[in-house]
């Protein structure tokens, strides 16, 4: 089956994130609750390349689920631009939205019960989205068997969710999400209800979807520990992208490998940058900093005049 992905017009080629699979450009989502505005997303920028597996981390209330709801087509942003593949998420018709949710993307929720129908077997659960997409019964059965097999659930295909452990249920959920060959898999806290060993199992299944099927995987979590499971971690704070950490494995001269994590701050298109709180407090950076353009980097220093002024004020206070 091929996806009915729309191609972006050629005139949009030069846009921000033209080569990315997922583009969030200044995405804003405001909720109105009894006349009070809640800014869940406050101009969030995010680019994800095809084939990546990333984690989005952030404290509870930072806007992670809101972002995932926007990307999975459940919710529409208030402003900004959000694109996944050729799909512009701000201008989807109702019919497009249905096709998008059915076959362009797959999702896995934290509550295992939300992913699976309790009265259907694992196999029937995986076949269901294919039935909705009009796939022939024989093809459905074969693909469901293949998917469950590759996720290590082949021998439990006839069991109902209630007869499976939490980790097994989430692996079936991954098979359901992959049923219609989505380009992207979104998972919102997929291991939130599982212990560490079972979480590891679910991550292994997500990694397999990523490496073997080439599916792009975006995992949302409040657990910074999972950072070790992916190549890139994007941290969001107060509805904005705060920093990114890239991990790579380096081999030293003795052949030993070690993982190197490099932290990057996000520079938005207006040139704004957020310095980590510990950098600011260590160097006393506040209000105004001195900037200098060097040959290959930019230097940032505390405002020397402010430091002198505050020292003078402190001395005058004493006298």
Longest dimension (CA), the chain: 90
Q: Which of residues 131-190 bind ligand ADP (CB under 6 A)?
A: none
Q: Is 221 in the site for ligand ADP (CB under 6 A)?
A: no
CB of 84 to ligand ADP, least distance (A): 18
Separation between Cα atoms, residue 255 and residue 205, nearest integer Å: 29
Q: Is 65 in the site for Mg ion (CB under 5 A)?
A: yes
CB of 64 to Mg ion, least distance (A): 5
Residue 33's binding partner among Mg ion, ligand ADP, none (Cβ under 5 to 8 angstroms by kind) is ligand ADP
User: 122-132 and 137-150 helices cross at what angle (nearest 10)?
Assistant: 130
In Å, how far from its chain's centre is CA 285? 31
List 40, 46, 122, 184, residue binding ligand ADP (CB under 6 A): 40
Residue recorded with tokens 């990546």: 52
Token couple for 288: 């105004």
CB of 171 to Mg ion, least distance (A): 21
Ramachandran class of 43: left when φ > 0, alpha when ψ lies in -120 to 50, beta otherwise: left
Neighbours of 306 (CB within 10 A): 15
Helical H runs in the chain? 64-71, 94-99, 112-115, 122-132, 137-150, 166-178, 196-213, 277-283, 304-318
Q: Is 66 in the site for Mg ion (CB under 5 A)?
A: no
- Choose the binding region for Mg ion from 63-71, 112-120, 171-179, 203-211 (rule: CB under 5 A): 63-71
Q: Is 43 in the site for ligand ADP (CB under 6 A)?
A: no
CB of 189 to Mg ion, least distance (A): 6
Q: Which of residues 17-36 bind ligand ADP (CB under 6 A)?
A: 31, 33
Length of the chain, please?
A: 319
Q: Is 223 in the site for ligand ADP (CB under 6 A)?
A: no
Q: Which of residues 45-84 bind ligand ADP (CB under 6 A)?
A: 58, 60-66
Q: Give the footprint of ligand ADP on this chain (CB under 6 A).
A: 31, 33, 38, 40, 58, 60-66
């Amino acid at each position: 089956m091929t996806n009915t992905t729309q191609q972006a017009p050629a005139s949009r080629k030069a846009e921000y994130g033209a080569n990315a699979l997922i583009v969030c450009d200044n995405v804003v989502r405001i909720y109105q609750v009894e006349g009070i505005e809640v800014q869940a997303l406050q101009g969030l920028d995010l680019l994800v390349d095809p084939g990546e597996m990333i984690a989005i981390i952030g404290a509870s209330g930072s806007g992670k689920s809101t972002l995932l709801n926007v990307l999975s087509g459940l919710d529409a942003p208030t402003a900004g631009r959000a694109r996944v593949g050729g799909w512009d998420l701000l201008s989807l018709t109702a019919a497009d939205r249905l096709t998008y949710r059915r076959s362009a993307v797959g999702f896995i929720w934290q509550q295992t019960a939300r992913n699976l129908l309790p009265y259907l077997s694992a196999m029937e659960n995986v076949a269901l989205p294919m039935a909705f997409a009009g796939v022939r019964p024989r093809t459905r059965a074969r693909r469901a068997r293949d998917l469950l097999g590759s996720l290590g659930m082949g021998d439990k295909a006839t069991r109902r969710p209630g007869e499976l452990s939490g980790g097994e249920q989430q692996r079936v959920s991954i098979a359901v999400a992959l049923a219609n060959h989505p380009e992207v898999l979104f998972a919102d806290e997929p291991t939130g209800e599982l212990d560490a060993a079972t979480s590891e199992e679910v991550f292994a299944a997500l990694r397999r979807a990523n490496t073997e099927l080439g599916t792009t995987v975006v995992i949302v979590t409040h657990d910074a520990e999972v950072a070790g499971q992916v190549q890139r971690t994007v941290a969001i704070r107060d509805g904005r992208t705060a920093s990114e950490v890239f991990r790579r494995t380096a081999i030293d001269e003795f052949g030993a490998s070690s993982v190197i994590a490099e932290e990057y701050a996000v520079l938005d298109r207006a040139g704004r940058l957020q310095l980590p709180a510990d950098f600011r407090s260590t160097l006393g950076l506040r209000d105004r900093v001195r900037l200098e353009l060097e040959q290959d980097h930019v230097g940032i220093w505390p405002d020397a005049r402010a430091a002198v002024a505050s020292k003078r004020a402190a001395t005058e206070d004493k006298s």
